[in-house]
Amino acid sequence: MTISDKKIYPRRNDLETVYLKNVITNPNIIIGDYTMYNDFVSDPTQFEKNNVLYHYPINQDKLIIGKFCSIACGAKFLFTSANHTLKSLSTYPFPIFFDEWNLNKTQVASAWDNKGDIIIGNDVWIGYEAVILSGVHIGDGAIIGARAVVTKDVPPYTIVGGVPAQEIKKRFCDETITQLQKLQWWNWSFDKIQQVLPYIMNGEIDKL
């Protein structure tokens, strides 16, 4: 058990920031330890309702977010059911209105193209009002710029921004990125992380 297992608000007198995993009830949303969400506009405990959109049980797709992620106010995760299938000659979602058009209700999901799970790695920072689309995988240590629209996978420790999001730069050299992925410090115990925290904060990877 970690310190973040039951605590909702990690900071005293701050009701705008929550440990996300402790406010989630949907089994198809899986959040790692210490990942936090800040919302100064809406109640952050309503993340599941306000930020995870078109996430219907019929698809069984998942939102998986790793440990120690920082998610800024208004970030949105747009799932498959927001899509309209492109194989149809029309963009109108006829299968959703099966009663109206005398269609088989078991074919509702054919109204959209299933893009799959959204998977966010560890230690990812997602900026203000960024949008992550269904099927996107974001690597460990990546940074998503404010109001970016992420339509494709983001490699580890890469900064992206814009609409659609494009690579701006790598956070570190390839050697350091490889070392960080081998270390996986986010899986260490609380005590071990606390012990080396000055080195993490100061970018001293050679001392980890």
CATH number at residue 92: 2.160.10.10
Let me know whether 88 and 121 are in one domain. Answer: yes
Let me know whether 87 and 148 are in one domain. Answer: yes
Please determine, for residue 113, whether its predicted confidence score (pLDDT) is greater than 70. Answer: yes
What confidence tier does 4 reach under pLDDT thresholds 50, 70, 90? low
Sheet holding 158-161, edge to edge: 17-19, 36-38, 70-71, 125-126, 143-144, 158-161, 166-170
What confidence tier does 130 reach under pLDDT thresholds 50, 70, 90? very high
What confidence tier does 2 reach under pLDDT thresholds 50, 70, 90? low
**Predicted TM-score (pTM) above 0.75:** yes
Let me know whether 10 and 83 are in one domain. Answer: yes
Let me know whether 178 and 167 are in one domain. Answer: no
Let me know whether 164 and 178 are in one domain. Answer: no
Determine the pLDDT at residue 114.
87
Distance CA 161, CA 72 (A): 14
Let me know whether 146 and 47 are in one domain. Answer: yes
Distance CA 73, CA 71 (A): 7
Which residues make Cβ contacts (< 8 Å) with residue 130, sequence separation at least 6? 72, 75, 76, 144, 145, 146, 147, 148, 149, 150
What confidence tier does 6 reach under pLDDT thresholds 50, 70, 90? confident
Let me know whether 120 and 187 are in one domain. Answer: no
Closest CA to 150 of 172, 168, 123, 170: 168
Determine the pLDDT at residue 8.
95
Across the range 166-182, mean pLDDT stands at 97
Let me know whether 196 and 165 are in one domain. Answer: no
Give the per-residue SS3 of 48-73: HHHCEECCCHHHCCCEEECCCCEECC
**pLDDT > 90 in the chain, percent:** 87
Residues marked active site are found at 84
What single-letter amino acid sits at 163? V
Q: Which domain holds residue 194?
A: 172-208
Quote the number of domains for the chain: 2
Distance CA 143, CA 125 (A): 5
